[in-house]
């Protein structure tokens, strides 16, 4: 498979499908990872969105979903609310995943990614519950012929790999985001990529710098200006033969289009 370069739709803060297409055009890219939540929640029409993207000749490389109740205010709030963790919203989130899987199948998507939530490293009730819930969600996608990728960052590479093995779903992979490893202070991104490489199905191109205050977020910065060693990152992808798609993600700053173009230039120079 030849890897393709695209942009994460949510990075562009578009107000409508037409606006999204216009902003993608400004980046010079012709592909995206599409946030499915606006379509699932009825904010954007599914048919209109697909028609607009098709008319603009923009390829959808994968989908992304979030879960109800996720609170990214602090590291502590997301630890307790991320992914499928919240009991209060589990039934809603299970149904949400089922609908997302059906939509992904309709759209012809082969991959949907999401944050699983903080998976405890230690065995116990909480870890068992998380693994069971993730198995249920992944099976809904598998029923539709759609692969799942867990976002990295909310646990160490070793913990995530252990959880994937315990899940016993070989088709479930990893959406590797090097910046998240830094933002969540979960280890060196290059070492983590090496460890997780057998399960990596897509990567995000995003950069960050470590926090100077333990327990607080690191800071996301434009690609090439942070602490991700991009030459080493693409070196690992190449040496491991990982021809996976690269999706530029930018979730901070007021110059999203310019920052995405900067990231594309980094990929063009070093990949």
Q: pLDDT tens for residues 153-198? A: 888 999 999 999 999 999 999 999 999 999 999 999 999 999 999 9
The predicted structure's pLDDT at residue 180:
95
| β-bridge mates for residue 205, sequence order | 248
Contacts of 1 (CB under 8 A, 6+ apart): 243, 244
| DSSP class of 12 | G
- Quickly state the pLDDT bin for 1 (edges 50, 70, 90): low
Task: Assess whether pLDDT exceeds 80 at residue 111.
Answer: yes
Phi-psi category of residue 108: left, alpha or beta, with phi > 0 → left and psi -120 to 50 → alpha? left
Measured CA to CA, the distance from residue 57 to residue 69 in angstroms comes to 34
Residue 124's SS3 state is coil
**Residue range 70-95: mean pLDDT, rounded:** 92
**Residue range 104-132: mean pLDDT, rounded:** 94
pLDDT one-digit tens code per residue, 199-244: 999 999 999 999 988 888 899 999 999 999 999 999 999 999 999 9
Residue 177's SS3 state is coil
| DSSP class of 63 | E
Q: Model pTM?
A: 0.96
| C-alpha angle 120-126-132 in degrees, rounded to nearest 5 | 100
The predicted structure's pLDDT at residue 74:
87
CATH class of the 5-270 domain in this structure? alpha beta
Contacts of 242 (CB under 8 A, 6+ apart): 197, 200, 203, 236
Whether 221 and 207 have beta carbons less than 8 Å apart is answered as: yes
Structural domain spans, the chain: 5-270
Whether 99 and 132 have beta carbons less than 8 Å apart is answered as: no
Task: Assess whether pLDDT exceeds 90 at residue 121.
Answer: no
Average confidence score pLDDT of the chain: 96
Task: Assess whether pLDDT exceeds 90 at residue 75.
Answer: no
| DSSP class of 249 | -
Q: Which of 82, 109, 111, 84 is nearest to 95 (CA)?
A: 84
pLDDT one-digit tens code per residue, 43-63: 999 999 999 999 999 999 999
């Amino acid at each position: 498979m030849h890897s393709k370069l695209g942009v994460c739709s949510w990075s562009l803060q578009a107000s409508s499908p037409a606006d999204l297409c216009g902003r993608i055009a400004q980046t010079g890219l012709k592909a995206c990872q599409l946030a499915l939540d606006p379509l699932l929640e009825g904010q954007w029409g599914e048919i209109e969105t697909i028609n607009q993207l098709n008319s603009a000749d923009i390829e959808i490389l994968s989908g992304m979903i979030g879960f109800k109740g996720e609170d990214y205010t602090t590291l502590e709030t997301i630890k307790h609310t991320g992914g499928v963790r919240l009991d209060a919203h589990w039934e809603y989130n299970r149904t949400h995943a089922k609908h997302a899987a059906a939509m992904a199948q309709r759209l012809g998507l082969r991959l949907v990614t999401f944050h699983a939530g903080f998976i405890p490293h230690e065995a116990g009730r909480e870890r068992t519950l998380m693994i069971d819930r993730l198995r249920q969600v992944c099976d809904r996608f598998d029923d539709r012929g759609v692969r799942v990728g867990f976002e990295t960052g909310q646990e160490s590479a070793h913990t995530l790999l252990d959880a994937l093995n315990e899940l016993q779903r070989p088709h479930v992979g990893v959406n590797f985001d090097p910046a998240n490893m830094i933002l969540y202070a979960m280890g060196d991104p290059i070492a983590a990529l090496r460890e997780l490489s057998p399960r990596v199905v897509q990567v995000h191109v995003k950069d960050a710098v470590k926090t100077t205050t333990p327990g607080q977020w690191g800071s996301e910065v434009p690609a090439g200006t942070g602490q991700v060693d991009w030459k080493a990152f693409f070196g690992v992808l190449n040496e491991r033969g990982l021809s996976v798609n690269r999706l530029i993600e930018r979730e901070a700053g007021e110059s999203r289009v310019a920052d995405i173009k900067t990231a594309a230039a980094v990929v063009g120079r070093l990949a």
